[in-house]
Amino acid sequence: MNGRRGGFFLRIVPALLYIAAIFYSGLVRVPSLKVPHGDKWAHAAAFGFMVIVLRGAISYELPQLSPRQVLVASVIGVAVLGGLLEILQMFTATRSAELLDWAADIAGAVLVALLIDRLVLASSSSAS
């Protein structure tokens, strides 16, 4: 338990705050982006970064998982949270749910997970 000291505030709290910020911004009125498909890029970036914060939280809470299992769990978590946000948007007056937004969420998560797998996990396994 001693090795986990401070990890809650360094891993869990940032993930919770980031998720809360994404849900808040996803449920209030925001100005539209003037870039073609700009909101899809924003979804991909926001939910791609969510993989990073979830990865830290999941590895802290479930230390028995391998790094790749943590990465897969992070992508699944992002997909679930992205889907939940789209469902919640159906019940707001200022936002609308869109299947392509959820697809962009998942695409961003998968892309970041693949980058982490190739750049971080692959290099750490070849070093050992």
Domain boundaries in the chain? 14-127
Band of residue 94 on the pLDDT scale cut at 50, 70, 90: confident
Query: Region 91-103: what's the mean pLDDT?
Result: 93
Q: Could you report the per-residue pLDDT of 50-78, keeping only the tens digit for each?
A: 999 999 999 999 999 999 999 999 999 99
Distances (CA, A) of 91 to 7, 86, 101: 36, 9, 16
Q: Which pLDDT score, from 0 to 100, does residue 77 have?
A: 98
Above pLDDT 90, what percent of the chain?
75
| Burial degree of 118 (CB within 10 A; 0-12, 13-18, 19+) | exposed
CA atoms within 13 A on the CB side of 73: 18
**What is the pTM assigned to this prediction?**
0.87
Q: Could you report the per-residue pLDDT of 1-31, keeping only the tens digit for each?
A: 445 666 899 999 999 999 999 999 999 987 7
- Mean pLDDT computed over every residue of the chain: 90
DSSP code, position 95: -
Query: Which one, of 58, 63, 74, lies nearest residue 109 by Cα?
Result: 74
Q: Would you say residue 125 has pLDDT above 80?
A: no
Distance between CA atoms of residues 84 and 112, nearest Å: 20
* Contact criterion met (CB below 8 Å) for 58 and 73: yes
Sign of CA dihedral 52, 116, 44, 73: negative
Token duo for residue 61: 């809470």
